[in-house]
Chains A and B, each alone.
Chain A
Amino acid sequence: MTEATLSSPIWRHPEFARGAREMVGVSMGIAAWGLVTGVAMAKSGLPLSLSILMSLLVFAGSAQLAALPLLVAGAPAWMIWAIALCVNLRFVIFSAQWRPYFAHFPRWKRMLHGYFTADLNYVVFMARFPQPKPAPEQLPYFWGGIAVNWPSWQLPTLAGLLLADAIPTQWGFGFAGILALLGLMYSLLTDRASWVAAGVAAAAAVATVALPLKLNVVVAIAAAVAIGLLMDHATPATIKPMKDET
């Protein structure tokens, strides 16, 4: 159905350009972050060929950084996988939200899309399509975003791997990655409920930062979802739910 309407190649669709354009802003942050990740991988002692393999295949920065020291130390594979699983738990939550958009695809296609759904693609896509139902312009928008996001992550990571000693990471430009997330977060603060949810998540994440394996992120999401539900159901209709407008 969706495919039939796209008789011309997907990258000719105007939504492809829009998806790419709306990813360009944050891609600078992704790039700085990828560069720093590449340098960290190079300095971990993992051989270059394996580092490149890891970056290209795994495509999940925080899981890679968490797995690296264990991999280099020769830890058993199950332990490395357990760590990555915990660091990636947030994606399980995200995948429940992707489902209504992709449910009509065959399984292999759903999983292929799932593989590319990094954090920023998720946030940008959900802001563009707040209604959880499929529409023909979603696929080109999605791939337009990936077309910018994927190389913005992979190429600087490779550059960081190859040029590790020449890159002055002590200048702190890796902070650009955090600033990209910060800017995205601000753009989602549309009403009082969203401010409260963000505040609760931030406080919960700071309070539980001692938890291993970045589980504080999962705790923070649970806390924010709980407080969001409370606000949606316990306040009069004057407060609109965050994403039900447009």
Chain B
Amino acid sequence: MSTWHAVVAILGLAVITVATRGFFLYPDRELPLPVWLKQGLRYAPLAALAAVVAPEILMQQGHLIATFKDARIWATLAATAYFFWRRGILGTIVTGTLVMVALRTGLGW
């Protein structure tokens, strides 16, 4: 890996950030997206979150978790309980993380 190769690659990655996040923002004219697609896209944020979160919580090296001795399960349960009790995201994060760190450092899960 030469430094210049890396710098060019990194600059290209920055361009890709702009190109993907700005994909439908670039054209001056409205792109004719079908109405049904525009309607359906309102499920996209929720779907993206669920799709990122589910494998991180439920899977271990490509397989579903098969043990209860996994700190992620208990951290997720605690965070979930907090959220539906108080509806605050900060408290959800703090509760889950505390359970996570306690089980990892205390029990080695």
Binding site for B on A (CB under 8 A): 24-26, 28-29, 32, 46-47, 50, 53-54, 57-60, 63-64, 67, 71-74, 77, 80-81, 84-85, 88-99, 102-103, 107, 110-111, 113-117, 119, 122-123, 126, 130, 132, 170-173, 175-176, 178-189, 194, 197-206, 209-210, 216-217, 220-221, 223-229, 232, 241-243
Q: Which residues of A contact B38 (CB under 8 A)?
A: 96, 132
Q: A176 CA to B90 CA in the complex, in Å?
A: 10
Could you tell me which B residues sit within 8 Å of A by CB distance?
A: 1-3, 5-14, 16-18, 20-26, 28, 30-31, 33, 36-59, 62, 64, 71-72, 75-76, 79-80, 83-84, 87-90, 92-94, 96-97, 100-101, 104-105
**Looking across the interface, which residue of chain B has its beta carbon closest to that of A226?**
B40
Report whether A115 and B13 are in contact in the complex, using a CB–CB cutoff of 8 Å: no
**Secondary structure call for the B interface:** helix
Whether A126 touches B9, Cβ cut-off 8 Å, given contacts A91-B23, A98-B24, A103-B30, is no
Partner of A114, one of B3, B18, B30: B18
5 A-B pairs with CB atoms under 8 Å apart are: A67-B9, A95-B21, A96-B31, A182-B76, A182-B83
Q: Is the CB of B71 within 8 A of A172?
A: yes
